[in-house]
Amino acid sequence: MLKSLLIILALTFATLAAHADVQQLCKQFDDQVEALDVKGAKNTIDAAYKEDPKSHDVLFRLARVHNFLGDQEWQDEKKLAMYNKALDYANKAIAVNGKSMGGYVYRAAANGKIALFKGIFSVASVVSAVRDDATKAIQLNNESTERLAAACYILGRSHLNLVKKPKLFRLPLGLGWGNIEEAVANLKRARSLRPNFVMFELEYARCLVEMEQESEAIAVAQRIAGLKNQEPGDQQRKQDALQLINDLR
C-alpha cells in the first residue's frame, strides 16, 4: 500500500513539474515573439509540444508561430503550406479546449492569411469563417488583453477588406455583411486595448483612407515610424505606412 502511494505521489509531482515547464516555455515563447525572435520562439514552442502535445496553450502558440513563418516565406507554395499548418494547429487547440479564445484567434488569423493569399472574393466561406472565429473569441474574452485586441483587429480588418468592393458585387458571394462601421469600431477597440501597436495603427490609417479622411490617415501613419516594433513584420509595416503617406500626398 505504501509503495503504491509513493508511486502515485511521484507521478503527481512529475506531472506538476512538466506542467510548470510547459507554462514557462509558453512565457518564454511570448517574450521571444515580442523580441521578434521567430526562430527562437519556434524552437521553444516545439520543446513545449514535446512535453505536452495536447496543451491548448501550446497548440495555439504553434498556430501563431506558423503564421509568422508563412509571412516570412517568399515561395508561394511554402507560404501556403505554413498557413495551413497554422490552421491545423489552431483546429487542434479548439478540439482540446473549445471554451478558450486562443484557438479561435489564431484560426481566424490563419484563415485570414489563406483568404488573402487566394483572393478573398474567391473563398467566401473562408472569409466568413474568419468573421465567425474572431467574433467567438471576442465573446469568450477569457484570456489575455493582447489576444482580445488581436481578435478585434482581425474582425475589423475583415470588414475593411470587404468594403473595398461594392456591396452589390459582394451580395451574391454571401459577403454582404462587410461594412465600414464595423471596421472602424473593431479597429478602434483593438487600438484602445493595445495602444501604439504598429499593426493596428497601420490598419486604422487604411480604414481612414477608405472613409476619405486622408489628412487623419496621414497623421496616424506618420506616428508609426516612432513606434516600437513589437510583432514580426513591424519593420515592413513601417515601410507600408510611409508608402501610404506618399500615395496620399
DSSP 63: H
Q: Which contacts (CB < 8 Å, 24+ apart) does range 82-85 have?
A: 83/110, 83/113, 83/114, 83/117, 84/110, 84/114
Task: For residue 215, count other CB atoms closer than 10 A to its CB.
Answer: 8
pLDDT band for position 65 (50/70/90)?
very high
pTM of the complete model:
0.91
Residue 212: predicted pLDDT = 96
Closest by CA position to 105, among listed 128, 137, 69: 137
User: CA 171 → CA 32, 163, 174, 175, 185, distances in Å?
Assistant: 43, 11, 5, 6, 22
Query: How do residues 189-223 score in pLDDT, each as one tens digit?
Result: 999 999 999 999 999 999 999 999 999 999 999 99
* 185: pLDDT strictly greater than 50: yes
Residue 4: predicted pLDDT = 55
Query: How do residues 67-80 score in pLDDT, each as one tens digit?
Result: 999 999 999 999 99
pLDDT band for position 1 (50/70/90)?
low
What average pLDDT does the segment 235-240 reach?
A: 98
The full set of domain ranges for the chain reads: 195-249
The continuous run of DSSP H or E covering 179 comes out as none
Q: Quote the CA–CA distance of 173 and 167 in Å, as a whole number.
A: 10
Task: For residue 188, count other CB atoms closer than 10 A to its CB.
Answer: 15
Query: How do residues 26-49 score in pLDDT, each as one tens digit?
Result: 999 999 999 999 999 999 999 999
Residue 24: predicted pLDDT = 97
